[in-house]
């Protein structure tokens, strides 16, 4: 069905807007970039696949957090966050949220 993500800044209690994202798919020869995007005013991005469809594969979603922290005038410990996940059923939607703070993060399978 598709892929989406959402970033909430848990320290500030609001969505993390303008965070650049990159999506990669694992191939036999390594990782191949399949999409880019950034979070909107609600901290969401659902356009990473563009016109592509989700495939049975392992993916890596990279969140470029350094520029977000700089814009907030915060010193963040993690300049980027990468979440690797596996798609086992392309008929499902995969929502990969990120709960972010300057010194930590959490992720889970969302709905």
- Region for residue 75 given its phi and psi (left: phi exceeds 0; alpha: psi -120 to 50; beta: otherwise): beta
Residue 32: predicted pLDDT: 95
Residue 1: predicted pLDDT: 66
Locate the domains of the chain by residue range: 2-107
Residue 95: predicted pLDDT: 96
CA-to-CA distance for 104 and 25, rounded, in angstroms?
Answer: 25
Q: What does residue 53 show for φ and ψ, rounded to 5 degrees?
A: -115, 155
Beta strands 2-9 and 44-45, pairing class? antiparallel
CA distances from 44 to 32, 48, 94 (A): 23, 11, 13
Q: Structure tokens of 34? A: 């399949």
pLDDT at 67 over 90: yes
pTM of the shown model: 0.94
pLDDT at 57 over 80: yes
pLDDT in tens, 4-46: 999 999 999 999 999 999 999 999 999 999 999 999 999 999 8
pLDDT band at 51 (very low <50, low <70, confident <90, very high): confident
Q: Percent of the chain having pLDDT more than 70?
A: 99
The average pLDDT across 77-100 equals: 96
In CATH, what class is 2-107?
Answer: mainly beta
Residue 65 parent element (H or E): helix 65-71
CB of 75 closer than 8 Å to CB of 37 = no
């Amino acid at each position: 069905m598709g892929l989406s993500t959402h970033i909430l800044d848990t320290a500030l209690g609001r969505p993390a807007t303008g965070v650049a994202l990159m999506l990669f798919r694992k191939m036999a020869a390594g990782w191949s970039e399949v999409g880019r995007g950034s979070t909107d005013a609600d901290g969401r991005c659902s356009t990473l696949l563009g016109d592509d469809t989700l495939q049975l594969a392992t993916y890596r979603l990279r969140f470029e957090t350094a520029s977000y922290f700089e814009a907030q005038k915060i010193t963040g410990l993690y300049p980027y966050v990468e979440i690797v996940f596996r798609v086992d059923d392309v008929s499902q939607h995969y929502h990969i949220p990120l709960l972010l703070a300057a010194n930590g993060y959490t992720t889970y399978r969302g709905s």
